[in-house]
Structure 1
Amino acid sequence: MSEVKITIVTPSYNRAHTLTRVYDSLKNQTFKDFKWIIMDDGSTDHTKEIVENFQSEGLINIEYFWNENQHKFITVFEGIKKVTSKYFMVLDSDDSYPENTLQTLFDEVEKIGNQDEYISVMGLSQYTDEKIVGHQYPNNGFDGSIFDMRYKYKVRGDKFGIFITKTYQQLLKNYDYAHYQGKGYIPQAVFFNTYDADGIKTRFVNKVVRNYHLDEEDANSVSNTRWSGKNTFGLMEGYRSFLNSYGTKLFKYPKALIRNLVGYQIYSIINHKSLSEINKDLKYFKLLSILMYPLSFGYIKYKKNQTNF
């Protein structure tokens, strides 16, 4: 049996109630040459039974792996290591996808001639009312960096796309994420900042490839637990990764620099780090960090008085 062209990787933790949404989207895709890897991150609900029901229908090639809980950051990487197809996608366990998503992204990534210089093609997300999440890309799409997309062109909103396996796995092979084991939530940006800053390109296309479902009551959402000990280490690492990856490029974007430096200091303080420890983990901006520290410390005191966190 020949290898499929696309592998879908879905990390899932206690999402039995939403996985059917993903499954229905996949079985309705116009592009059929794919398989689905479900990485169960230690679910305690009936995820396994739901997946077995999917498998029994025989409509999609599904591989299911149950692991002790490692959180999404590590679980995604462990799933990507299992990919043998030319391309892969990471599908969340609670979203859905237009029926032409796989075909659209496959066609777009196949247009790239020099794929060794690229890691992905990113399209747009839409809400269930078909309104675009955030902004479209400028110039009817472009090739470049995630940094430029966010800060030069000021494009906002969740994006979604397809990855080139060879490029991604080569970068992942040289990336040590073992020290994040047991640390809880870690933003995926901690990894993609590193390759984006090194000049690995992304192609951005103005085509809708994901339906974004709001889940404001999700107790596990980071937006609902930004100030709890559960997520503050990961948020600290996200800010630190951004500052260290993009370095002096940030002097052209002072607002982004200050916002991320203050964010890094705030979450470092919450994690009981001293100013010397904060600066030790910074490659750049050490003097600015000293100057900004009183502001960050004062903000923490203000938040404590306002919210009792």
Structure 2
Amino acid sequence: MITVLTPTYNREATLPRLYESLCAQTCKDFEWLIVDDGSQDETQRLLLEYSDTAPFKVQVFYQPNGGKHVALNLGVRKADTPWIFIVDSDDSLVPNAVECVIDAVVALGEANVVGLCYRKAYFDMRVVGRNVENSDSPVIMSPTEAGHFFKGDLAYIFKTEAMLKYAFPVVPEERFVPELYIWNKIGDEGDIYCFGSTTLYLCDYLEDGYSKNFSSNLRRNPKGFLTFYWAQIFRENDLRYKLKFLLRSIQCYLYTLFNRFS
């Protein structure tokens, strides 16, 4: 029912942790699909080993380095299941994550659902973002609304057919487009159910990751960020956010000019 989709680049050191968490899943009704985005370390050797020993289906694809968003596009096209759970190669899942997602999909039945949203926590189990009161009932939110409400990164599971409809744009000579740009488009297709008190995903923010290198990432990928920021101006209801993203758009435009003439 579910594809755990992992784009990876030079994550030989952290992939074993993710693999072990997948092996520990209480439900093995999933496939693990990895897209190696041109790794130069021992990632390929590890993935070959996992393909031979995993207690679940493993698919491995390789592409020249093009960025996480390009790897996601390839992975979505290769997925063999109706649902996709994106899990980064430096993160992991709690043991009942897959079981929890499948139970939610079955419970929602024929509802107009295109996605599920759960909380992330650090490896010491501190929730990323804002704590909310315990509730067994999910709330329907757009990804933009959920980001503002929970004030932290969230774990998403989307219908494969919706992800196929909205591929990430590919900008020549750039390596990044913010994921929220596509998550919002998927949310336009139907409902995303947010389980605000359920943590399924464990994460860390590495020194060479996107989150800790926002400024340099913005300078290197201004067109990709501009695509997101400009779209976000029209999605936001709060004038403060509209102004914030307008200023970011101007910043991206200036970086584009600088990169062109440098």
Structure 2 length normalisation: TM-score? 0.88
SS at match of 1:16: coil
Aligned 1:269-308 pairs, distance under 5 A: 269-272=254-257
Deviation of 1:149 after TM superposition, in Å, equals 2.3
Structure 2 CA distance for aligned equivalents of residues 114 and 184 of structure 1: 37
In structure 1, what is the equivalent of residue 238 of structure 2?
A: 253
**Which position in structure 1 is the counterpart of 2:27?**
31
Q: In structure 2, what is the Cα distance between the partners aligned to 1:166 and 1:8? A: 15
State whether structure 2 residue 162 is matched by structure 1 residue 167: yes
Q: Matched residues in 1 for 2:144 and 2:127: separation?
A: 20
Take 2:210 and 2:158, find their aligned partners in 1: how far apart are those partners? Answer: 25
Per-residue deviation, 1:164: 1.9
Cα distance in 1 between the residues matched to 2:184 and 2:30: 28
2:80 is the alignment partner of 1:91:
no
From the superposition, tell whether residues 134 and 23 of structure 1 become closer, same or farther in structure 2 (CA, over 3 Å): same
Q: Distance in 2 between matches of 1:199 and 1:8?
A: 22
- Structure number with greater CO (CA < 8 Å, separation at least 6) is 2
CA gap of 1:189–1:34, structure 2 versus 1, over 3 A, is: same
Tell me the residue number matched to 1:81.
Answer: 77
Q: Distance in 1 between matches of 2:189 and 2:178?
A: 20
What per-residue deviation string (whole Å, max 9, x for no partner) do you get for residues 136-185 of structure 1? Answer: 4578330131233234xx3211111322223333x23xx573x4243211
2:75 pairs with 1:105: no
190, 194, 197: which one pairs with 1:200?
A: 190
For structure 1, the 5+ residue unaligned runs are: 274-309
What is the CA RMSD across the aligned residues, in angstroms?
2.2
- Greater Cα radius of gyration, structure 1 or 2: 1
Q: Deviation digits for residues 45-102 of structure 1, max 9, x if unmatched?
A: 1111011121232423211111111111111011011112122211100001110111
Deviations 1:248-301 (A, max 9, x none): xx3x4111111111111112112128xxxxxxxxxxxxxxxxxxxxxxxxxxxx
Residue identity in the other structure for 2:210: S
Query: Where do 1:1-309 residues align within 5 Å?
Result: 5-115=1-111, 117-136=112-131, 140=135, 141-151=138-148, 154-169=149-164, 171-172=165-166, 175=167, 177=169, 179-196=170-187, 198=188, 200-205=190-195, 206-215=197-206, 217-218=207-208, 220-227=209-216, 229-244=219-234, 246=235, 250=236, 252-272=237-257
Aligned partner of 2:66: which letter? Q
Q: Which moved more, 1:58-67 or 1:17-26?
A: 58-67
CA deviation profile, 1:103-147 (whole Å, cap 9, x unmatched): 1111112222334x3211111111122111102457833013123
CA contact (8 A) 2:83 2:159 kept: yes
**Residue 187 of structure 1 aligns to which amino acid in structure 2?**
P
Query: 1:167–1:127: structure 2 CA closer, same or farther, 3 Å change rule?
Result: same
Say if 2:118 and 2:155, in contact at 8 Å, map to a contact too: yes
> SS at the partner of 1:102?
helix
Q: Deviation at 1:6?
A: 1.3
CA distance in 2, matches of 1:176, 1:159: 19
Matched AA of 2:144: F
- The CA distance in 1 between the partners of 2:168 and 2:128, in whole Å, is 33
- Structure 2 gaps of 5+ residues are none
Structure number with higher helix proportion: 1
Q: Is the 8 A contact 1:126 1:210 kept in 2?
A: yes
